Structures are given as structure tokens and as C-alpha cells.
Amino acid sequence: MHRIWAIAENTFKEGLRQKILILLIVFSIILIFISIFLEPFALGESPIILRDLGLAAAALFGILVVIIIGSNLIHKDIEKRTIYTVITKPVKRSEIIIGKFLGLLLLIAILQCAMIVIHQLVIFIYEGSFDLPLFITIPFSLLEIMILLGILMLFSSFSTPTLSAIMGIIFFVIGHASPDLKLFADQINAAPLKYLAYGFYYILPNLENFNLRIDLVHKLPIFTDQIMFSICYGFIYTIFLLYLSIIIFEKREFK
């Protein structure tokens, strides 16, 4: 466990010291604050805009960080040959993958929490009270990020950072279009296409499972079984992706 923690700590520090991170933090905070200035255009819906935009900014921040840093996570170590001294220590390759995964996840989790705290302050300034139930978006956003990070680690264990980033974006877009894919599969009559659409729907990650933003912003009820399903789905999918990444990484050579 201490070996995984050492790798996670290194990944955390490495991520924290990347200049792009500061840029993304500033960008997201501006996006959160900008919601205040949209009030004149809100037509009485300003509380909704305030919440929706703030949560979207925090979620977007997490996605951008995971795609930009996550796609480079393994490749950078190989390209810079920093992996040589790690891999020759009494460390299992699976520990390297898990350590890197946890390090970046921890970094994103802390920063997302900070974003939501800033968002709460904006709500407080505007409305004179906090909206604490919004904090529930954090674990769900992290479940989505876990899956995306798993996808990025899978691709970066054998391909380039560019290809990994492109695959991350594709999976993100398809993952959020998953309900539409299901609708398409339900409505289409041509059998081969129908089964193909169902196949994609069940194999590709359904990231809409973790999108509670609409429910929270519009104060809709959230059911326990819905929460439980999302948690289990997120963990099982991530473990599967990490398992595949480990299998590929175990066979990788460092020429």
C-alpha cells in the first residue's frame, strides 16, 4: 500500500505543479462568477442559471483536467524515461497504474471541492444562504471522472497522448449521448442496426448515470436506487478499465 501511496503522491504533486492547471482553475472560477452577471438575461430564472452554470463549470474543469493531464500520465514517464527508476524497484506494474490513477483522482477531487465551495460562496453572496445539497454532485462527478480516467489510462498504456486525449473526448461525448443511443435503438426497425446500437449502448459507458445537475438545480427528487446503481456502475466500469490497463502495461517494454 505504501508503494501505491508513494506513486499517488508523486502524481498528485506533478499534477499540482502543471501550469495548465492554474489556467483551468482561473477559467472555471471566472465561469462560476460570470453567472452573477447573467441575471438581467435570466427572466426570473436567475437561481437556476446561478446553480447550473456553477456546477457545469466545476464539472467541465474536472473533465478538462482529466483529459489534459490523464492522457499524458503514463506516456510522459516513458518518454522522459523517469519510469526506468520506478519500474526497476520492487514495485508491481499494477501498483504503478493504481497509484497514478489515485493520485490524479485525488487532485481533481480536492480541486472540485474547492470549486463547489467557491460556487457556494457565490450563491451566498447572491441569495444570503448556502445551497448545501449541491455538494452531492461532487461524488457523482468524480465517478464520471473515474471512468474517463480509466479510459485515458487504458489508451495511454499503449498509445500516444494525442490518441488517448481524442479517445477520451469521444468517450465523453458518446457517454453523454447514451440515452439518445438507446432511444435510437428502440425506434429503429432494421435488425442489424438495432442490435449494433444496443451493443454500443451496453458496452460504452453511460455517463448520464452520473449527471444529477438537472435534478438538483430543479429540486427534483433523487431516488436511493438510482444513486446505488450509479455508484456500483461507476466502480465496476472503472475496475474493468484499470484491469485492462494493467494487463497491457504488464506486457509493455521500455526501449
The answer to whether the Cα torsion of 17, 21, 26, 28 is positive or negative is: negative
Give me the residue label for grid cell 490497463. Answer: 245
* Amino acid type, 254: F
19 binds other proteins (CB under 8 A): no
36 binds other proteins (CB under 8 A): no
In this complex, which beta carbon is closest to other proteins, that of residue 2 or of residue 191?
2
85 binds other proteins (CB under 8 A): yes
90 binds other proteins (CB under 8 A): yes
What's the rounded Cα separation, in Å, for the pair 232 and 156?
25
Q: Are 20 and 185 in contact (CB under 8 A)?
A: no
What's the rounded Cα separation, in Å, for the pair 119 and 98?
31
For the CB of residue 76, give the shortest distance to other proteins in the complex, in Å.
10
Q: Draw the binding track, 226-255, toward other proteins (x: CB under 8 A; -: no contact).
A: ---------------------------xxx
14 binds other proteins (CB under 8 A): yes
For the CB of residue 8, give the shortest distance to other proteins in the complex, in Å.
10
In this complex, which beta carbon is closest to other proteins, that of residue 90 or of residue 128?
90
The only residue of 27, 84, 229, 243 in contact with other proteins, by rule CB under 8 A: 84
CA 160 to chain centre: 20
Closest by Cα among 73, 56, 34, 55 to 116: 55
For other proteins (CB under 8 A), the number of binding residues is: 25
Q: Which of residues 91-110 bind other proteins (CB under 8 A)?
A: 91-92
22 binds other proteins (CB under 8 A): no
In this complex, which beta carbon is closest to other proteins, that of residue 11 or of residue 35?
11
What's the rounded Cα separation, in Å, for the pair 137 and 143?
10
Q: Are 54 and 119 in contact (CB under 8 A)?
A: yes
Burial class (CB in 10 A: 0-12, 13-18, 19+), 90: exposed
For the CB of residue 111, give the shortest distance to other proteins in the complex, in Å.
17
Q: Interacting stretch for other proteins, rule CB under 8 A, among 6-14, 66-74, 124-132, 198-206?
A: 6-14
What's the rounded Cα separation, in Å, for the pair 241 and 243?
5
Interface residue list for other proteins (CB under 8 A): 2-3, 5-7, 9-10, 13-14, 17, 80-82, 84-92, 253-255
